[in-house]
Chain A
Amino acid sequence: MSRPGGAARGGAGMRLRGLTRKEFLQIVRDPSSIAIAFLMPIFLLVLFGYGVSLDAEHVPVAVVVEAPSPDSADFVAALRGSSSFSPRDMAGMAEAERALLLGEVRGIIRLRADFARRLRRPDGAAIQVIVDGVDANTARLVLGYAEGAWGTWLAARAAASGQTLTRPADLQARIWFNSELKSRNYLVPGLVAIIMTLIGALLTALVMAREWERGTMEALMVTPASMTEVLLGKLAAYFTLGTGGMLLTVGLAVWLFEVPLRGSFWLLWGCSSLFLLASLGMGLTISTLARSQFVAGEIAIIATFLPAFLLSGFIFDIGSMPPVVQAITHVVVARYFVAIVQTLFLAGDVWSVILPNAAALAVMAAIFLAITWKKSRKRLD
């Protein structure tokens, strides 16, 4: 390309340096990018680390003992000893049902008047468990825990009297990867994906739209800087910011929430970079469609943030979704990354999981960056 004027001029390096420095200065001076990059991760971590738990602990249940006896007292004591329940004694079924209606308890455990008598008969005694099925997840947990507590109590009782309880098969459970069964251990790693989606897609779409809104894009376009350089300047700045958000989240996860990181940190870094490129690609693609901050923000939330939240396997298991929804999750970039982070944190460097997912991330990143590069022309029409 001919350079009219002929005077010595700086080249692409100088332009790129200028653009990148500008982006960093804007990030530093703009409280909203700092908020999204650093305050949001902390807020989400605290929320999911402390606030949200998918485990049931100390579930309030009503206990109705129709005829108190040493046996029933022994069973209720066993219930009390478990961390799953916090039992509340009720005088009768009427009171227990009222408590269930008011939502004060999530279930009722009823020991009938003939409990002690039937316990000594060969066909054994039964307990009645009524659960509030509105929250299906908790209902299932209450049922399971109650059954478990009942079985344990019967076994202990049999052992104490020198008998063995005969059961057709004995279940010996071993829990792998998340042996404490803490939901925090798989929620917190998944948050890395959510936070990097926020920085990569939402923040990037917003700052590009801001350049259009304030008319600075028009001024950039008439400088010798090419569109590729403008995009590279943005990528460099927000890639750094996203990496910062990732390090912050991983650091807090490991040191504050004591989530084990069993895989390699460098592998995590590498996969995060791939995911970040894909997220930035999505953000930039959105900004070629929407030139106002409001619309760009809206599209970014609906097209990137919500799917990352709901369809990535971050909270809801993809395997238990209907087949159609499962098919849709394949276009959700975060899904591949959530699989990687959960594996890296809880299982370790399982290459058979990481390689295909990382390859999918690389393909997605390439597609979105290619769309952006193709769509961004130095023209306003």
Chain B
Amino acid sequence: MTGDPVLVADGLGKAFRVGKRRVPALDGVSLGIAAGAVTGLIGPDGAGKTTFMRLAAGLLRPDAGSIRVLGLDASRDALAVQAALGYMPQRFGLYEDLTVQENLDLYADLQGVPAALRAGRYAELMHMTGLAPFTARLAGRLSGGMKQKLGLACTLVRAPRLLLLDEPTVGVDPVSRRELWAIIDRLVRAEGMSVLLSTAYLDEAERCAEVVLLHEGRVLDQGPPGRQSARVAGRTWAVTAPGRRNRDLQAELAGLDGVVDALVQGEHVRLVTRAEHLPEAVAQRPGLLAQPTPARFEDGFIDLLRARGAAPAAPAAEAPAPTPPAGDGVVIEVAGLKRRFGDFWAVAGLDFQIRRGEIFGLLGANGAGKTTTFRMLCGLLPASAGQLRVAGLDLRHAAAAARARIGYMSQKFSLYGNLSVTQNLDFFARIYGLAGTARRARLAWALAEFELAGYADQLSADLPLGYKQRLALACALMHEPEILFLDEPTSGVDPLARREFWQRINGLARRGVTVLVTTHFMEEAEYCDRLAIMAAGRILALDDPAAIKARARSPEHPEPGMEDAFIRLVEASAEATP
């Protein structure tokens, strides 16, 4: 890191009006961002990342404090700041009805790139992003990953001194995500560019030279990413108990004295402890094997949040009912499932079975066929071919009856924003046919179980993100479904809320509810009992997370993560089908 900071914020504050309240998005943020390096602005949705980016780009005026970019006041000299930096908003700013080349030309004109320099710069950018063969294609016809790379190329037509990237990796498949990081690394190393990148994915922190942790509009910490893992060095363990489900083990360990965090992570339970030795409450338990494991960024983040007073998530301490023995009956049965749109096979032949009380994950990039599969399983879309039985009912003949036994929660939290919490719950109870005392009882249960009583009369649009998520789950559970479908339920949610959410899901699974999750979020994949990795409408691998990760093991990669395994599988299948 060299020279003066490229960006300095001092006591920065900004609030927005939500309903009748003023909600602070940023509150007293002071930080400096070093030149010639990648700085990560890391925090969950609603932490204030986008507001910070927009303030830095001179698109918003601060309520308090100041922000200086490249030595200029971003709010007073907005035009000069904008002329010097590159900014890629969350939705890339591409014109979908213009071709790749026309988008580049537009941004070159706007940035005033002289005609003589263009050919060289275009060639360089197209080579870097791998878009050279597609210059005549409309931007709207590109895949998500390609759009994002084109967005980046447009931002880079004139090499800016500071590059602001607002959540560039959201909704992008792991392969494209890795390519994007390679491009960013090259820009910093070869061109000496300074980059500020925001993300909700904590695992991306480790790729940054410096990390700013943003939480609820405040800076929690700033420093090299290693600092977070260093906080918890020697305090992280991989715990297994042969013959028992990790989910039961996790529920048992979560509330114990001296335990900061317990998380199912594929083949083991990841434990963060308060001290550098196992707490007695854990050590005394019979049949446990605890191995020290390297600390991650997220462990440190959780520790930091807990140290600031966040209570450990310990929802309804119901007796840890023993999980019914495996093979207790197949609840979802799929054989030779296919779905065609025109001459395109979105789903090209799936076979799998899901047992009662199992958490089953469908992992795949955008366009892999996850959503299509999901819709067929919910009885919303007829299959073109194949067998499909849900809760013992054939969806070809009894879709409506099967739907009554299914709960569904989507990433977008399909709630009615202008109805209150109680009205939303009441509505979902009614459409599933609950009446009279049964409905009132279930409503009371939902308000108590999800700790929503304090918000009962608030409009659901005004709820904080974590509470929206709770409400969405409560709505999906009003009719006590046997099967729960979750569509990317926790992407962008803060790590504490994510833990709490999965505690609830684990609790449901232990009581025999079958859970099906689709995700492209590697963290969520780790919570599943079994996973199907999908690409181009087919299943590439179907196994438990540990076995899937083991497939990617190689001499260079002795401890591959889920992302490594995913990329390896996708690349192998791409080679096999030229």
- Tell me the A residues contacting B by CB distance below 8 Å: 1-5, 8-11, 14-15, 17-19, 21-22, 25-26, 29-30, 214-216, 218-226, 378-381
Contact indicator B114/A10 (Cβ below 8 Å): yes
Q: Is B91 an interface residue (CB 8 A)?
A: yes
Closest to A2 in B: B80
A15, A26, A378: which contacts B98 (Cβ < 8 A)? Answer: A26
Query: Across the interface, which residues of A come within 8 angstroms of B161, CB to CB?
Result: 4-5
- Give the shortest distance, in Å, between B76 (CB) and chain A (any CB): 12
The 8 Å CB contact of A18, one of B79, B83, B105, is B105
19 of the cross-chain contacts (CB-CB < 8 Å) are: A2-B80, A4-B70, A4-B161, A15-B109, A18-B105, A18-B110, A22-B98, A216-B94, A218-B54, A219-B92, A219-B93, A219-B94, A219-B154, A221-B57, A222-B82, A224-B79, A224-B83, A378-B82, A379-B58
Counting from the closest, the 10 A-B pairs by CB-CB distance are: A219-B93, A18-B109, A215-B91, A9-B112, A10-B112, A223-B110, A29-B97, A222-B87, A4-B84, A224-B83
- Number of chain B residues close to chain A: CB under 8 A: 42
Q: Does B107 contact A (CB under 8 A)?
A: yes
Q: Which residues of B contact A380 (CB under 8 A)?
A: 54, 59-60
Contact check, B102 vs A22: say whether CB atoms are below 8 A apart.
yes
Closest to B82 in A: A222
Q: Nearest residue in A to B107 (C-beta to C-beta)?
A: A223
Contact A14 B112 (CB under 8 A): yes
**Closest B residue to A222 using CB positions:** B87
CA distance A380 to B55 in the complex (A): 10
> How far apart are the CA atoms of A195 and B359 in the complex, in Å?
59
Given the known interface contacts A15-B109, A25-B98, A220-B110, the answer about A378 and B93 at a Cβ–Cβ threshold of 8 Å is no
Contact between B87 and A19, CB atoms less than 8 A apart: no
* A18, B96: Cβ atoms closer than 8 Å: no
Beta-carbon contact of B78 and A378 below 8 Å = yes
Residue of A nearest to B96 (CB): A214
User: Are B60 and A379 interface neighbours, CB within 8 A?
Assistant: yes
A4 touches B98 (CB 8 A): no
Complexed CA–CA distance, A10 and B158 (Å): 12
Give Cα distance in the complex from A224 to B95, angstroms. 18
One of B58, B83, B93, B102 near A220 (C-beta < 8 A): B93
A14 touches B93 (CB 8 A): no
The residue from A4, A219, A221 contacting B83, defined by CB atoms under 8 A apart: A4
B78 to chain A: closest residue by CB? A378
Given known contacts A214-B96, A218-B59, is B110 in contact with A5 (CB within 8 Å)? Answer: no
The B26-75 residues at the A interface (CB cut-off 8 A) are 54, 57-61, 70, 72
Instruction: A19 to B91: give the CA distance in the assembly, Å.
Output: 20
Task: Decide yes or no whether B371 CB sits under 8 A from chain A.
Answer: no
Q: Are A11 and B112 in contact (CB under 8 A)?
A: yes
Q: Which of B59, B78, B154 has the largest count of A CB atoms less than 10 A from its CB?
A: B59
Q: Pick the residue among B82, B91, B96, B110 that contacts A15 (CB under 8 A).
A: B110
**Contact B93–A10 (Cβ < 8 Å):** no
A residues in contact with B60, CB < 8 Å: 379-381
19 more contacts with CB within 8 A, not counting A9-B112, A215-B91, are A4-B83, A5-B84, A15-B110, A17-B109, A18-B106, A25-B102, A26-B95, A26-B97, A30-B97, A218-B59, A220-B93, A220-B110, A221-B57, A221-B59, A222-B87, A223-B111, A378-B58, A380-B60, A381-B61
Among residues of A, the one whose C-beta sits closest to the C-beta of B87 is A222
On whether A224 and B114 interact (CB within 8 A), knowing A3-B83, A5-B84, A18-B105, the answer reads: no
Query: Least Cβ distance of B360 to chain A in Å?
Result: 35
Given the interface contacts A1-B80, A2-B80, does A216 sit within 8 Å of B95 by beta carbon?
yes
Return chain B residues, CB-CB under 8 Å to A5.
Answer: 83-84, 161
Closest to B56 in A: A222
Residue contact A222 to B114, C-beta cutoff 8 Å: no
Contact residues in B for A15 (Cβ distance below 8 Å): 109-110, 112
Assess whether B334 is interfacial by the CB under 8 Å rule.
no
Cβ contacts under 8 Å, A378 to chain B: 58-59, 78-79, 82
Interface centre among A15, A223, A378, A380 (most CB of B within 10 A): A223
Q: Which of A2, A4, A30 has the most CB of B within 10 A?
A: A4
Find the residue from A1, A15, A30, A218 having the highest chain B CB count within 10 A: A218
Q: Give the residue name and chain of the A residue nearest to B110 (CB).
A: A223
Kindly provide the distance from the CB of A226 to the nearest chain B CB, expressed in whole angstroms. 7
Chain A positions within 8 Å of B109 at CB level: 10, 14-15, 17-19, 21
Tell which of B97, B107, B108, B111 touches A25, judged by Cβ atoms closer than 8 Å. B97
Q: Inside 8 A of A21's CB, which chain B residues have their CB? A: 105-106, 109
Instruction: Specify which of B106, B112, B114 lies most central, judged by the most chain A CB atoms within 10 Å of its CB.
Output: B112
